[in-house]
């Protein structure tokens, strides 16, 4: 799992990605899309109304965090469960 600056977590598989944007003690937003060189091109799903927005994540502006919490994995698992049929 990649975890960047405590605000997003994601899993890459064959150039495709599923993950979440989140802050501690707050809601989270799932995203899915593709990995390109130094960026993620994703659709972000609003957790309140399920609307989708396109978004680009510039990975060069973040750094990898090796330590992830059980809650990080719980959030990622929730997004994977909801969107894996669309992505993988």
pTM recorded for the entire structure? 0.83
DSSP 8-class letter at 64: B
The answer to whether 54 touches 43, Cβ cutoff 8 Å, is yes
* Tens-digit pLDDT profile for residues 37-64: 899 999 999 989 999 999 999 988 887 7
Q: Which residues contact 25 (CB under 8 A, 6 or more apart)?
A: none
Q: What percent of the chain has pLDDT over 70?
A: 91
Query: Is the pLDDT assigned to residue 6 strictly greater than 50?
Result: no
Average pLDDT over residues 50-79: 87
Residue ranges of the domains in the chain?
2-87
């Amino acid at each position: 799992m990649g975890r960047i600056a405590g605000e997003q977590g994601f899993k890459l598989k064959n150039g495709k990605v599923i993950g979440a944007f989140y802050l501690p003690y707050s809601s989270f937003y799932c995203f899915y899309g593709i990995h390109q060189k130094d960026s993620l091109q994703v659709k972000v799903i609003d957790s309140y109304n399920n609307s989708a927005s396109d978004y680009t994540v510039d990975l060069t502006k973040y750094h990898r965090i090796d330590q992830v919490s059980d809650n990080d994995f719980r959030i990622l698992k929730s997004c994977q469960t909801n969107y894996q049929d669309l992505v993988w």
